[in-house]
Chains A and B, each alone.
Chain A
Amino acid sequence: MSPVADNGKYALRLRGLVKRFGGVEALSGATLEVERGTVHGLIGQNGAGKSTLIKILAGLYQPDEGSIEINDISHRRLSAHEVEKLGIHFIHQDRLLVPSFTVGESLFLGREPRLAGLPFLDRRTIRKRAEEILDKYFKLKLPANVLISELTAAQKQIVQITRALLDKPSILVFDEPTAALVRREADILFDLIRRLRADGITIIYISHYLNEIEALCDRATILRNGKDVATIDPRATPASKIASLMVARDIEEMFPKISVTIGEPVLTAKALSKAGKFQNVSLDIRQGEIVGLTGLLGSGAKDLVRVLFGLEAADTGEITIEGEKGRPRSPVAAVAKRLALVPEDRRGDGVALGLSVAENITLASLKRFTGFGFLKRDEEHTEVDRLIEQLAIKTNGRFAPARTLSGGNQQKVALAKWLSRKSTLYILDEPTVGVDIGSKVEIYNLIGKLAERGAGILILSSDLPELIGITDRILVLYRGAVVREFQSSEATPDEVLAEATGALIQHYGEQRHVS
């Protein structure tokens, strides 16, 4: 069905792409060559450069260096409009669809074929074509007047794919398409992708899940640190080999491990479940213990953290904090139980950029500095100055706005806020993302010191060498269940990644734990 002449071998060649953002190189010479009519996988860890590469292909970013060749025609630069005209379409779970539109309106938005010679929409033809496609690929009648917001994630995806197919695409890009799908829906999607390939459409498939790559892809390119490190045949390459290609090796020894005696449990969670997010998760964190938690997008790790801190409610299960039963119903309750959360979105949730360093640091512990409702500013400032010194926060004084600090120092402020609260359990969500290497080491040291003083610490991180380096043990979540617990001293990044990506699950669907 593709109108493109099948002359060249490659549908797409991106070569030597370089893309810089300020001083940071997101891509440093990445190459992606996709043969016509194949399913080509693109894999890499967070920050490997996948999304930058795809945004260049979508015409959203312009590369600083490198060449783009689509169907043997090279392009200096691409705009989003040209990309669509070239027949390249993107299927992404959160993009493109307006919730208040009907299925019919969504399918025809922006294409709107006319009746010959008239300014009227040829609705009948379009509907007929849409129904043909829906029937042919999905064996499905999707009523055209249902609202997008009423559809399930899988149905929305079907609408997106159908919309793309109406345009007779030559290349379809699937960006993490299964993140929001349940297993049965994912199976239908895989089946569909194979049939699209049989019809001559070239497919680029981006996923964290190694087993999906193995099941679907003819070839796969692995990105690491902005470069393609290998292009392989996933069926002939063992998962452990792929995982080790994905993980960077050049991390120096920077995790100072202090040996700490493990004490009483600070937090115990039993059989926590939240529908559609995670099921039957149990964990305990003891005094002086640093526990790691990792999982891919959609694994439920983030949701678990939100439940522990009272930001969301679990459906069932039990949480005991310092011997006291009861799930925190709000962050107010969590903070009262001396829980601390350093959230991933530092500038959104962790630090108020418009407040001063001092105001940020004491925000969670104002009670300490209050007498009869009035702030005791001398005591507040003494404590702030002490923490600024202890954490070596580089700031132009305690009254400097937090926005004037570097990312690493902002993160230290986010931590200092909980030190001032004298928290006993610290939940750190991606604590070192966007933090310079110097501050990183300082933050690792601080985490170690907190444990030494008897605090319990839960770290969520997708930086596996970091996680293994600083934690005592690691829980791996995969599609809402704890699939494995590692002793950090015995874990390797490859193994952890393999568990997190589901590569060790023999067949897709045979999970070893109840889901």
Chain B
Amino acid sequence: MSVFANPDRRLFTPQFIGQVLLRYAVIAALAGVFAFFSFATTTFLTSANLTSILVNNFTLLAIVAVAMTFAVSAGGIDLSVGTSVDFASFAFVSLVLAGYPVGLAILAALVSGALVGLFNALLISGVGITPFLATLGTLFIGRSSQQLLTNGGNPVYLPQTGISPLFLFIGHGHILGIPVPLIIVGLLIVITSIVLLRTRFGRAILAIGVQQSVARYSGLRVPGHIGLVYVISGFIAAIAGIILTSTVSVYIPNSGGAFMLNAIGATFIGTTLSREGRPNIPGTMLGVLLLSIVANGLLLTGLSFYWQQVGTGLLIFIVLAASFLNRRGRGD
């Protein structure tokens, strides 16, 4: 039946609302969990807690998820984002401990993360290993080498005193009342959104991710672009490593791995926001926000920490299932 066959074209029919809910499942889920935790706990809907969600739960995952979104946009995946976080953290702590200026330490941390990405790039674009296996290998190598570097996994602490205020500023400082990590994330979101949507590089990445063979037949430098994507992914993940280290003043080996699965989840939740199912930064951010709220809310309800994973898994299912139903409904 055509829409025009219906003389009574009210906008808010149940079907229409159903369609909208399916189409914007992420937003519906976000509103749902927000409302749920607001009623279920007394502490959720307080400005202190909401700020805490953004600073503690959202920031780091958001940065790593942006890195992941790049890899997924190019049709791949980066399982070694956590390795970049860790290597950046290690480089950062080591150089600050050794008395180098904070600025230089930050640079070294960013380079370390990018080098992890470069290693992936060589495996993927140079050798031709699939992204999943290449980054999985990097993940394993990264894990072992951190244990070798730290005598089996001992954390590297910074002393309580005598640390440059600039070091602590990154994780704890405020500019105009806004936490510095949030400012960094905000800038990153704006810059990466523009890169992916408005630049030639972003368009090439998109084409490679959607149909690599067509990109190749159109004369795009496919291996070069893919390689660069993994370097960028490592570089961005390193930013998370820097903020993490500054916040806790310690490098804990293999702590970055915790972000990887959630970053993948957030990226794919984010694809449901795009009509064509494309990875996109705003969608990924909504995914991160959703996972952050669930993590924080479940903690406040007093449920075991281990239920968090169940909650996260269920949410990913629900959002992806809704998106699938929506696509099927459109006959794609």
Contacts and interface: CB of A to CB of B under 8 A. Distances in A.
Q: Do A and B come from one complex?
A: yes
Interface of A: 311, 331-332, 334-336, 341, 343, 348-355, 359-360, 363-364, 366-367, 369-370, 373-375, 377, 401, 403, 417
Contacts of B215: 352, 363
A332 B200 contact: no
Interface string B183-200: 000000000000000111
A349 B217 contact: yes
Given A363-B220, A364-B219, A355 B199 contact: no
Contacts of B217: 311, 331, 341, 343, 349-350
Nearest to B211: A352
Contacts of A332: 219-221
B211 A370 contact: no
A332 to B, nearest CB: 5
B174 interface: no
B211 A336 contact: no
B213 A349 contact: yes
A355 B219 contact: no
A403 to B, nearest CB: 8
Nearest to B219: A335
A334 to B, nearest CB: 7
Contacts of A348: 213-214
Contacts of B8: none
B204 A366 contact: yes
Contacts of B201: 373
A21 to B, nearest CB: 20
A354 B200 contact: no
B213 A334 contact: no
Contacts of A335: 218-219
A369 B206 CA distance: 16
A331 B216 CA distance: 7
Closest 9 CB pairs of A and B: A335-B219, A352-B211, A364-B218, A352-B214, A354-B210, A363-B218, A370-B200, A349-B217, A366-B200
Interface string B310-332: 00000000000000000000001
B207 A373 contact: no
Counting chain A CB atoms within 10 Å of each CB, which of B198, B204, B211 scores highest? B211
Nearest to A342: B217
A45 to B, nearest CB: 27
A364 B216 CA distance: 10
Contacts of A369: 200
B218 A375 contact: no
A350 B213 CA distance: 8
A297 B206 CA distance: 35
Nearest to A331: B219
Nearest to B221: A332
A384 to B, nearest CB: 13
Given A367-B200, A373-B200, A373-B201, A355 B218 contact: no
Contacts of A341: 217
Contact of A355 (B206, B216, B221, B277): B206
Nearest to B194: A374
A353 B211 contact: yes
B207 A363 contact: yes
Interface of B: 198-201, 203-204, 206-207, 210-211, 213-221, 276-278, 332
A217 B272 CA distance: 59
Counting chain A CB atoms within 10 Å of each CB, which of B200, B201, B221 scores highest? B200
A354 B200 CA distance: 18
B210 A352 contact: yes
B118 to A, nearest CB: 21
Given A332-B221, A335-B219, A355-B206, A363 B276 contact: no
Given A331-B219, A335-B219, A336-B219, A375 B214 contact: no
10 contacts: A350-B214, A352-B215, A354-B211, A355-B207, A355-B211, A359-B203, A363-B203, A366-B204, A373-B199, A375-B199
A366 B198 CA distance: 12
B216 to A, nearest CB: 6
Contacts of A401: 276
A331 B199 CA distance: 22
Contacts of B207: 352, 355, 359, 363
Counting chain A CB atoms within 10 Å of each CB, which of B210, B218, B220, B221 scores highest? B218
Contacts of A343: 217
A417 B217 CA distance: 11
A464 B50 CA distance: 71
A370 B202 CA distance: 12
A501 B206 CA distance: 44
Given A354-B278, A360-B214, 17 more contacts: A311-B217, A331-B218, A343-B217, A349-B216, A351-B214, A352-B207, A352-B210, A355-B210, A363-B203, A363-B215, A364-B218, A366-B203, A367-B200, A373-B200, A373-B201, A374-B200, A403-B332
Contacts of A331: 216-219
Contacts of B216: 331, 349
A363 B214 contact: yes
Contacts of B220: 332, 363-364
Contacts of B213: 348-349
Contacts of B198: 374-375, 377
Contacts of B204: 366
A341 B218 CA distance: 8
Contacts of B332: 403
Contacts of A403: 332
Nearest to A369: B200
B206 to A, nearest CB: 7
A51 B213 CA distance: 27
Contacts of B214: 348-352, 355, 360, 363
B63 to A, nearest CB: 23
Nearest to B277: A354
A354 B276 contact: yes
Contact of A375 (B203, B221, B277): B203
A340 to B, nearest CB: 9
A338 to B, nearest CB: 10
A352 B276 CA distance: 12
